[in-house]
Amino acid sequence: DGGITQSPKYLFRKEGQNVTLSCEQNLNHDAMYWYRQDPGQGLRLIYYSQIVNDFQKGDIAEGYSVSREKKESFPLTVTSAQKNPTAFYLCASSGDYNSPLHFGNGTRLTVT
Amino acid sequence: GQQLNQSPQSMFIQEGEDVSMNCTSSSIFNTWLWYKQDPGEGPVLLIALYKAGELTSNGRLTAQFGITRKDSFLNISASIPSDVGIYFCAVKAAGNKLTFGGGTRVLVKP
């Protein structure tokens, strides 16, 4: 089945550690996105990539980094510089410009 | 970034009721989308609107793209228990980026 896979579903880390969240898609989509969701809030864009080897900052990129070495993969690293890393992280992808975004099922990160 | 105002923030439904929610912006957008999110999962696209004034249905859901291109509403008719969840409006900006509203949380009346 085609889709977007985020792993793991739940992730726990100690403060001060970097952590990388995985996002893989087999939809052959060019564009991929990372959003952050806090309790009771909407989604905020962290980073996005329109094509392999290229990515742009979203609205809340500070404390995060990404890479796009392969079309199907867009990992997100939450660095120790991110002041409030505990959140629900959602990855999405889309085909051409007119295509809506399709989301994975998210990774819930808890940093203590 | 752009701001979308979604209302109400939450609502209670009773099975069989029709419910409505809306989303407004101070800016004009050419694409409006409605997503639903179940607990612990990613949002799922319900309806996409591409033309001002357009009225589109998906089963018991109906959404309209406002004529001013600054608003949209979503109606759910004859609600059922599985309609609970969070409904988000979203607009498409340059680079195919989506900006989301704060969500309307739909709950079942106790």
pLDDT digits (tens, 9 = 90+) for A28-48: 999 999 999 998 788 999 999
Does A59 sit within 8 Å of B100, measured CB to CB? no
Please say if the pLDDT value at position A1 is more than 70.
Answer: no
In terms of Cβ atoms closer than 10 Å to its own Cβ (0-12, 13-18, 19+), residue A67 is: middle
In chain B, the DSSP E strands lie at: 4-7, 10-13, 19-25, 32-37, 44-49, 55-58, 61-65, 71-76, 85-93, 97-100, 104-108
- Take residue A105 and report the two structure tokens written for it: 């099922």
Q: Is A101 in contact with B45 (Cβ distance < 8 A)?
A: yes
Work out the percent of chain A whose per-residue pLDDT is above 90.
Answer: 88
The radius of gyration of chain A from alpha carbons, rounded to an integer in Å, stands at 13
B85 touches A at CB < 8 Å: no
Distance in Å, alpha carbon of A12 to nearest chain B alpha carbon: 16
Q: How far apart are CA B91 and CA A43, in angstroms?
A: 12
B98 compared with A63, residue with greater pLDDT: A63
Cα separation of B43 and B100, whole Å? Answer: 11
Percent above pLDDT 70 for chain A: 97
Q: What is the pLDDT of residue A100?
A: 84
Spatial distance between the Cα atoms of A109 and A21, rounded to a whole number of angstroms:
9
Mean pLDDT for A84-88 is 95
Residues 6+ apart with CB under 8 A from A1: none
The mean of the pLDDT values for chain B is: 93
What would the mean pLDDT of A59-87 be, rounded to a whole number?
96
Q: Determine whether the interchain pair A50/B95 forms a contact, defined as Cβ–Cβ distance below 8 Å.
A: yes
d(CA B89, CA B6): 7
Test mutation, B87, B96, B105, chain A, max A CBs within 10 A? B96
Which residues of A lie closer than 8 Å to B, measured between beta carbons? 4, 6, 31, 33, 35, 40-45, 48, 50, 56, 58-59, 90, 92, 94, 97-106, 108
